[in-house]
Amino acid sequence: MTNATEVMITETKLTSSALYVSATCGKVSALVCIGDLQVRVIVQNAAHKAWRGSGKAFQNVAAALAAYKSEEMKAIITAADSLNR
């Protein structure tokens, strides 16, 4: 049995303006973009696949963490932030 908060980073990309991290934790997958001006989180679920939305934007990582209830999403955001050093 695997730990529900174990995050698997599937892809990372660093540009001059942002860090992009695709990750999976349990059954939850998301793309986290950490830039100079904002943090954007795109949960890759059925709604995203249907509407191709641009996710939610936050002022910082703390605001992004506060917006999600699930431990899996919090773990993904925390893992992305740990790469942004």
Question: Does position 50 have pLDDT exceeding 70, yes or no?
Answer: no
Q: How far apart are CA 58 and CA 61, in angstroms?
A: 7
Task: Tell me the whole-structure pTM to 2 decimals.
Answer: 0.88
Q: How far apart are CA 57 and CA 7, in angstroms?
A: 21
Q: What is the mean pLDDT of the chain?
A: 90
* 24: three-class secondary structure by DSSP: strand
Q: Find out whether 76 and 32 touch, Cβ atoms under 8 Å.
A: yes
What is the distance between the terminal CA atoms of the chain, rounded to a whole angstrom? 31
Label residue 5 by pLDDT band (50, 70, 90). Answer: confident
Question: Does position 1 have pLDDT exceeding 50, yes or no?
Answer: no
